[in-house]
Amino acid sequence: MIFAPGFLTNGPVLTAIVVGGGAAIVSGVVGVFTIMRGQSFAGHALADVSSAGGSASFLLGVNPLLGFTGMAVIAAAIMGFADMRDPRERDLLTGIVLGAGLGLTALFLYFDITSMSTSGAAITVLFGSMFSIPAAIIPLTLTVAAGAIAAIVAAYRPLLVSSLSAELAEVQGVRSRLIGLVYVLALSLAVALSAMTIGAILSTALLIGPAAAALRLANRPGWAVVLAVAIGLAATWGGILLAYDSFYWTPGHGWPVSFFIVTLVLVFYVMAAVLRAHPAEVRGT
């Protein structure tokens, strides 16, 4: 059964639609540049590190988005200031930051579980549980989303030139370090938002998947961003709808939203890859 009754009047569902939609929009906008800059791994690492903040916030009883965002921004600042030109060095540092972050996550989740005797926090932090997001989080979500998008809009053209070549950017007087730092901060906000919704481990799927599909289809940067946002929204909202419906498939317990979102992202990516492989039939040229 698709579109089970009560979908659009259910409070937790509406919160999931708003927060998940915000995460999908920001992930689409930032993700296009993440792929063009070859920083998918950095995106994943920031999400993992943000999970340390998320798990700590459960322990302290503060707004989890603050935890996810705070930790991701700190890690992004470290990675941004390190300014590694050599991709191998950069991957190395990223991996080390990632490891340290997950170590903290392990510690905080252990305390969460021993002090509250529940494993719910671990599932929520790592794999998300969208229907249990409190509505009170919406204003902060929208603020974080607006901040990330504003940063990308401001740095739009310098980011594009840098993706062509660091030297071409430099010769135009682009301050590559500053632009790189702005970008990685926007990235940290994007992954914190999606870690909050579909979980730290799965947030990379929302960051990379829709953007990768869009980059296969769009020939212009603006279109790539719009398409990535559209695909991300379709996967997120479609996933929420399917998860809501799944309460009726297996009565008593629905399936996790994150599972549906990630599966839809994969489906969209495969569709884009097929379209790109057979452009003649699709574009009619």
Give the residues lining the site for other proteins (CB under 8 A): 32, 35-36, 153-158, 160-161, 163-165, 167-174, 214-216, 218-221, 223-224
SS3 63: coil
Nearer to other proteins, 174 or 184 (CB): 174
Across 52-76, b (16+ Cβ under 10 Å) vs e yields bbbbbbbbeeeebbbbbbbbbbbbb
The residue among 256, 216, 214, 207 whose CA lies nearest residue 231 is: 214
Nearer to other proteins, 253 or 281 (CB): 281
Residue 95 in tokens: 């991996």
Query: Least distance to other proteins from the beta carbon of 264, Å?
Result: 22
Nearer to other proteins, 38 or 103 (CB): 38
Q: Would you say 58 and 125 are in contact if contact means Cβ atoms under 8 Å apart?
A: yes
Nearer to other proteins, 114 or 219 (CB): 219
The residue among 44, 199, 193 whose CA lies nearest residue 121 is: 199
Nearer to other proteins, 117 or 219 (CB): 219
Nearer to other proteins, 73 or 212 (CB): 212
Query: Least distance to other proteins from the beta carbon of 210, Å?
Result: 13
Neighbours of 203 (CB within 10 A): 32
Query: Least distance to other proteins from the beta carbon of 3, Å?
Result: 34
| Residue 155: Cβ-neighbour burial (10 angstroms; 0-12, 13-18, 19+) | buried
CA dihedral 20, 26, 29, 35 (to 10 degrees): -90
Query: Least distance to other proteins from the beta carbon of 182, Å?
Result: 10
Query: Least distance to other proteins from the beta carbon of 252, Å?
Result: 45
d(CA 89, CA 180): 16
Query: Least distance to other proteins from the beta carbon of 59, Å?
Result: 40
Query: Least distance to other proteins from the beta carbon of 167, Å?
Result: 4
Task: Give the side-chain half-sphere CA count within 13 A for 25.
Answer: 15
Nearer to other proteins, 202 or 212 (CB): 212
d(CA 100, CA 121): 20
